[in-house]
Amino acid sequence: IPPAVPFNPVVKEFVEPNPSDHFIYWLFRYRCMECKMAGQEINEIVPRSRSKKSILDWRNRVVLCRMCHAQFHLMGVTQTKIQLMQAKRKEYLQSIDRGAYL
């Protein structure tokens, strides 16, 4: 019988960042970063229409529920909305102990 490995709660898991939907859902713990309900959609903060490369940048992708996603796009995506969403992304990742992905 091998010796028991002691549990170390300080060990942090790290997953190599990538733009896949699976990684993005994992990164946000499958929760909407706005209302904390179950996340259902991945949103690009800077819309695809403004930058075709935005979908390939995992730092530009967040998880939202359908209602928060619709609210983000309501009346168009402005530079102010983009900046606010980027700040909320940072705050949310820090709040769920995923600051290493900023």
Secondary structure element (H or E) that encloses residue 24, with its range:
helix 21-27
In three-state secondary structure terms, 31 is strand
Summarised one tens digit per residue, pLDDT across range 19-50 is 999 999 999 999 999 999 999 999 999 998 88
Distance CA 54, CA 19 (A): 10
The answer on pLDDT for 13 being more than 90 is no
Contact by Cβ (8 Å): 38, 76: no
Q: What is the mean pLDDT of residues 76-89?
A: 96
pTM of the predicted model as reported, rounded to 2 decimal places: 0.84
